[in-house]
Amino acid sequence: MIVRIFVLVALICSIGSTTFATKATKKTIEVTLNWKAEPEFGGFYQAVLGKTLKRSWEELAVVEGGASTPTIQMVAAGKIDFAIANGDEVVISQALGTDVVALFATYQTDPHGIMVREDSGVQNLKELLSKPDFTIALQRGIGSTLFVQKKFAPVKAKIVPFTGGITNYLADKKFAQQCFVTSEPLAAKKQGKPARAFLIADEGYNPYSVVLVTRKQVIARDPELVKAVVAAVRQGWMDYLAKPEAANKHMAGLNKSMDLETFNKIAIGQKNLIETADTKKSGLGTMTAARWKILVDQLFEMKLIKKKPDPTALFQNL
């Protein structure tokens, strides 16, 4: 009996203390990722670690996602306010009638690529796609896949679903797969099977990638918040580009599938895809209507959208 009373009292105290604690803590502004903690999100984690959000009553948090987390649809549906998506997803979403809008484009050059083993002897994408005895794992339905399939039609290589990892690649000389040119080739090299990686952007399809998105409705509701979030993210990326070690250590703790050394290598390797001559003038993460227009036209041509959204309405440089 005494024990029970003790447990009860302890329970009541703990409930009391948690409610007290919630009152005292700041409001959390969440940014939902479309993948696990990896260097491609370094600046977002750095923004959290460095507390770069200049609103004392709020704090930034990053929520990890997975390969099939439909971040763009969750934002469109109002389930979340800030998320990471790919540029082409923003166009498709607006073409369907949503008010999703891009705020900050991490990669000015899309790191999506296709990698094949060096010992396969394949020299370029065209050659790879024309080889009937090769298998290529590509994510279905995404712009880059459709673009490659269209540009190099008729594709003779066997296209199979991309399921993540590099297991098949390591096992089979004739197995190619999609990759982030900054990331998987490093892992492949480490496992003793160095890769030749082809950037899809070099072939002409270059959407903004790892883009921070929200809804226009969120901007209308609290424009100051959205501005502050973008500024915090920009600061986070600037800090991460200059000094990625702390955020890398934090992310390596969250994502055990990659070691710290790889995190640091990728952080250096991706720098020139994020920081360009343009962003040095206009600011990190800024976008142009001309770039969005090219993407809109390409998606329309690939029949991924039925009507063309206004390129200037797709993004806001805050």
Partner 1 sequence: MSRLRSLFPPLVPLIGFVILFEFLVRWGIIPSYLVPAPSEVVSAILEIRSELFAAAMGTMTAAVVGLLLSFVVGSSFAICLSLSEFARKAFYPYAVFFQTVPIIAVAPILVIWFGFGQPTVIASAFIVSIFPVIASTLLGLRSTDPALLDLFKLYSARPLQVMWRLRLPYALPEIFSGLRIAAGLSVIGAIVGEFIGGGGLGSLVDTARTMQRIDQVFAAVLISSLIGLVMIALINYLSWWALKNWHHSERGEDV
In DSSP notation, 89-143 reads HHHHHHHTT--EEEEEEEESS--EEEEEEGGG---SHHHHHT-TT-EEEE-TT-H
Residue 66: in which H helix or E strand, if any?
none
Cβ closer to partner 1: 53 or 295? 295
Based on CB atoms, which residue is closest to partner 1, 73 or 279?
A: 73
Residue 155 makes contact with partner 1 by CB under 8 A:
no
Question: How many residues line the site for partner 1 (CB under 8 A)?
Answer: 24
Contact call for residue 161 and partner 1 (CB under 8 A): yes
Q: Does 132 bind partner 1 (CB under 8 A)?
A: no
Q: Candidates 56, 132, 141, 242: give the one binding partner 1 (CB under 8 A).
A: 141
Task: Verify binding: residue 7, partner 1, rule CB under 8 A.
Answer: no
Give yes or no for residue 173 binding partner 1 (CB under 8 A).
no
Exposed, middle or buried by CB within 10 Å (0-12, 13-18, 19+), for 253? exposed
**Residue linked to tokens 């959290």:** 48
Q: How far apart are CA 290 and CA 208, in angstroms?
A: 12
Q: Is 149 in the site for partner 1 (CB under 8 A)?
A: no
Minimum distance of partner 1 from residue 287's CB (angstroms): 21
Closest CA to 201 of 295, 266, 82: 295
Q: What are the CA-CA distances from residue 30 to residues 48, 104, 127, 250, 253 (Å)? A: 10, 15, 44, 17, 20
Under the binding rule (CB under 8 A), the answer on residue 217 touching partner 1 is no
- 73 or 288: whose CB is closer to partner 1? 73
- For the packed helices 143-151 and 289-301, what is the interaxial angle rounded to 10 degrees? 60
The single residue among 195, 226, 241, 304 that binds partner 1, judged by CB under 8 A, is 304
Residue 93 within binding range of partner 1, rule CB under 8 A: yes
Picking from 5, 220, 215, 185, the residue whose alpha carbon sits closest to that of residue 97 is 215
Q: Is 209 in the site for partner 1 (CB under 8 A)?
A: no
Residues contributing to the site for partner 1 (CB under 8 A): 68, 70, 72-73, 76-77, 89, 92-93, 96-98, 135, 139-142, 158, 160-161, 163, 167-168, 304
